[in-house]
Copies of this chain bind each other. A is one copy, B any other.
Amino acid sequence: MVSVELITVGDELLIGQVIDTNSAWIGRELGRIGAQVDRIVSVHDTAADIGDAVGAALERADVVIMTGGLGPTKDDITKKTLADLFGMRLVRNPDVFEHVRRMTAERGLEFNELNQAQASVPEGCTVLPNRVGTAPGMMFSRPDGAGGREKLLFSLPGVPFEMKELVSEQVVPIVKRHFSLRSVVHRTMITFGLAESAMALAIAPWEEALPGWLHLAYLPNARGIRLRLSAYDVDETSATAEIEARFAALREYIAPYMLGYEPSSVESAVAALLRERGRTLAVAESCTGGSISARITALAGASEYYLGGVTSYSNEAKARLLGVSVPDIERFGAVSETVARQMAAGAMERFGADYAVSTTGVAGPGGGTPEKPVGTVWMAIAWRTEKGETKTSARLMRFSELREQNIERAATHALNMLRLHLLGMSAAFQQTGML
């Protein structure tokens, strides 16, 4: 297995000004060709830190990919540092010089000494032309790789679109030529509705029966638990077939909770069901504040099945826009089963939709009471029978003290109620545990 290490250079990463998104992208791209990223290291723009990280990475890995520190300004020192590390002097590269000259001219910029300095590269490195920027990529090689193969060190700009261009056009083809790579296969099943520990116990027999070359990972977040099966250094076709078969077998254990393969989600599962049945949806939100609607409409083509929603943050709005009974609000409170059901029925009727979902609860931090503490959420769905009568189903859940979590979980569970109803699995409400 070809081992890759990434080194990202820049103070902005360490003080948290910038999130390192380059490394994840490179990890995915190299995984596709069967090379494995085994470590990611972020360091300051200092010669000592860069030198230390490069030396250690080249000891361990077959390929090292660095990003950042190649800009024209004083604080960018990666190129100079690599030249020193490899004992090379900086010499002007005529092709890069001409490229930068043309590029600055096209952009109406002065071709100043800083731009010109970008055309100087360590003598003896391989220049990787950068079509979309002024800083060239560079490749260095060291003869001490496994089986006499050279180890490769790539230095790329940190600007994401320049980095991506160089990885796709240069690094990936070079690595594929230089090493004999087999495949890495990852397939991820999105699940929702079972807590991680309950999931692990429920699927234990399935997990224990997995072959040793298939690695299972649990990836929990507020929108579900992702189950990833990974196979390294394998034949892609047979490995993929085996993984598909294993996930198919998983339905025997947790069918109601399986949403589909990544990038699936509760909302995209609901969208697919509504689409294939030609049905429409409306929502009525109180504690989720519009986030159910926002998640649905984040999906392209939502207008095919989504008619709209009402965020009723006041009791008056619940009454006026959704037709919720004011006496019932006074009698049961805005956070109640009755109001949740009336909100869903009202949204279905007002929007002329086939289905509706509603939420009403105490998101927090304020507004909690002994009977209805922060995290208390009533949610409901509404639909019509063949005879055209309106039916509703409601559910009470208690989440955390954290507003953001309460909103995200309530929205996800409300959408999941509808998903289970559309699948005729409403019984699973009862089994459904919390995340």
Q: Which of B201, B293, B402 contacts A290 (CB 8 A)?
A: B293
Answer whether residue A106 sits at the interface, using C-beta atoms and an 8 A cutoff.
yes
| Band of interface residues on A | 35 or more
Evaluate contact between B302 and A294: CB separation under 8 angstroms.
Answer: no
Evaluate contact between A71 and B218: CB separation under 8 angstroms.
Answer: yes
Question: With A201-B114, A293-B311 as given contacts, are A15 and B186 in contact (CB-CB < 8 Å)?
Answer: yes
Answer whether residue A358 sits at the interface, using C-beta atoms and an 8 A cutoff.
no
Answer whether residue A88 sits at the interface, using C-beta atoms and an 8 A cutoff.
no
Q: How many copies does the complex hold?
A: 2
Q: Which of A268-276, A312-320, A380-388 contacts B (4 or more CB under 8 A)?
A: A312-320
Evaluate contact between B307 and A310: CB separation under 8 angstroms.
Answer: no
Q: Using Cβ atoms and an 8 Å threshold, which residues of chain B touch A109?
A: 195, 197-198, 433-434
Interface of A is mostly: mixed
Answer whether residue A149 sits at the interface, using C-beta atoms and an 8 A cutoff.
no
Question: With A24-B19, A217-B11 as given contacts, are A308 and B294 in contact (CB-CB < 8 Å)?
Answer: no
Q: Which of B215, B262, B321 contacts A350 (CB 8 A)?
A: B321
* Beta-carbon contacts under 8 Å, A294-344 to B: 294, 296-298, 300-303, 306-314, 316-317, 320-321
Query: What separation, in Å, do the CA atoms of A180 and B196 have in the docked complex?
Result: 40
Query: What separation, in Å, do the CA atoms of A307 and B131 have in the docked complex?
Result: 40
Answer whether residue A28 sits at the interface, using C-beta atoms and an 8 A cutoff.
yes
Query: What separation, in Å, do the CA atoms of A44 and B351 have in the docked complex?
Result: 50
Answer whether residue A75 sits at the interface, using C-beta atoms and an 8 A cutoff.
yes
Answer whether residue A389 sits at the interface, using C-beta atoms and an 8 A cutoff.
no
Query: What separation, in Å, do the CA atoms of A193 and B173 have in the docked complex?
Result: 36
* Beta-carbon contacts under 8 Å, A392-435 to B: 398, 400-405, 407, 433-434
Evaluate contact between B316 and A297: CB separation under 8 angstroms.
Answer: no
Given A14-B37, A16-B29, 8 new contacts (CB under 8 A) = A15-B36, A18-B24, A20-B24, A107-B434, A161-B404, A308-B310, A308-B312, A316-B351
Q: Which residues of A are in contact with B by a Cβ distance under 8 Å?
A: 11-21, 23-29, 31, 36-45, 49, 71-76, 106-110, 112, 114-115, 131-132, 134, 159, 161, 184, 186, 188, 195-198, 200-201, 207, 215-222, 228, 230, 262, 283, 285, 288-294, 296-298, 300-303, 306-314, 316-317, 320-321, 350-352, 363-367, 398, 400-405, 407, 433-434
A-B contact pairs, 10 of them (CB 8 A): A12-B219, A17-B28, A39-B43, A45-B217, A71-B218, A107-B434, A285-B290, A290-B296, A307-B313, A317-B351
